[in-house]
Amino acid sequence: MGSLLLRVMLRDLALAWRQRADVLSTLIFYVMVVSLFPLGIGPEPATLRVIAPGVLWVAALLAAMLSLSRLFAADHADGTLEQLLLSPHPLTLLVLAKITAHWIASGLPLVLMAPLLGVQLGMQAADIGVMALSLALGTPVLSLIGAVGAALTVGLRGAAVLASLLVIPLCIPVLIFGAGAVDADAGAAAYFSLLGALLVLALAGAPLAAAAALRISLD
pLDDT (tens digit per residue) in 123-156 = 888 889 999 999 999 999 999 999 999 888 887 7
Distance between CA atoms of residues 61 and 107, nearest Å? 10
3-class state of residue 1 by DSSP: coil
pLDDT digits (tens, 9 = 90+) for 46-93: 888 889 999 999 999 999 888 887 788 778 777 778 887 887 888 888
Count Cβ atoms below 10 Å from residue 188 Cβ, excluding itself. 19
Cβ distance 29 to 62 under 8 Å?
yes
Indicate the residue type of 10: L
pTM confidence score: 0.90
